[in-house]
Amino acid sequence: MSKKRIAIFISGRGSNMEAIVRQVQDGILKDVCEIALVFSNKPQAKGLEIAKKFGLPVAAIPSKGKSREAFEREVLELLQPYRIDYVVLAGFMRILSPLFIRAYKNRIINIHPADTRLFQGVGGYEWAFENKLPSTKITVHFVDEGVDTGPIIAQREVDLCGADTLEEVERRGLAAEHEFYSQALRKVLTE
């Protein structure tokens, strides 16, 4: 089976992107995919610097001040020569319109820091913390035309007992995300 070509989309820190890169280099994604591009809608995103240090191709197109469609047309054009099989969203903070989603139908994957059936949108860890949940579920899902409504690929439960600050909730959640996202990607990319 030939390796799938993925583009990872980020907007900021890029810790999930980094975790995936490590698994592609020398872990469970090694034989499964290659990272054709790390893309950001924020040229200053910290994660782009990390990706460069790994020697990965990076690109940024600012989304600020553009309509969704105008921005996405530029991104689609940028992606074309890279022959991307899957778009992997990792902290990409821009909602994609049907224009983009249809171009990569069933080939866009996202990680959400909550159970998408219970909580959608930004602030999944704040929601879990404020509601004093004993546990939360990280969700990896396909992206459809709604916000965090696409078919669920896999979920990972995170124990939050005794996590009495938001920082601790985030710390436990992110540690789980970093391990879990690559596992879920492997599942999709090898099916």
Catalytic residue numbers read 112
90 binds ligand GRF (CB under 6 A): yes
177 binds ligand GRF (CB under 6 A): yes
150 binds ligand GRF (CB under 6 A): no
Q: What does the block give as tokens for 56?
A: 């990965």
Q: Among residues 79, 111, 143, 185, which is the contact residue for ligand GRF, using CB under 6 A?
A: 111
114 binds ligand GRF (CB under 6 A): no
113 binds ligand GRF (CB under 6 A): yes
12 binds ligand GRF (CB under 6 A): yes
Nearer to ligand GRF, 78 or 147 (CB): 147
Q: Which of residues 59-88 bind ligand GRF (CB under 6 A)?
A: none
Q: How far is the CB of 28 from ligand GRF (least distance, A)?
A: 18
Nearest to 38 by CA among 66, 5, 71: 5
CA 190 to chain centre: 18
Per DSSP, the chain holds a count of helices (H) and strands (E) of 6, 7
| Residue number of the CB atom closest to ligand GRF | 91
SS3 readout for 21-78: HHHHHHCCCCCCEEEEEEEECCCCCHHHHHHHHCCCCEEECCCCCCCHHHHHHHHHHH
14 binds ligand GRF (CB under 6 A): yes
Nearest to 127 by CA among 90, 157, 166: 166
Nearest to 118 by CA among 137, 134, 146: 137
Binding residues for ligand GRF, per CB under 6 A?
A: 10, 12-16, 47, 90-91, 111-113, 177
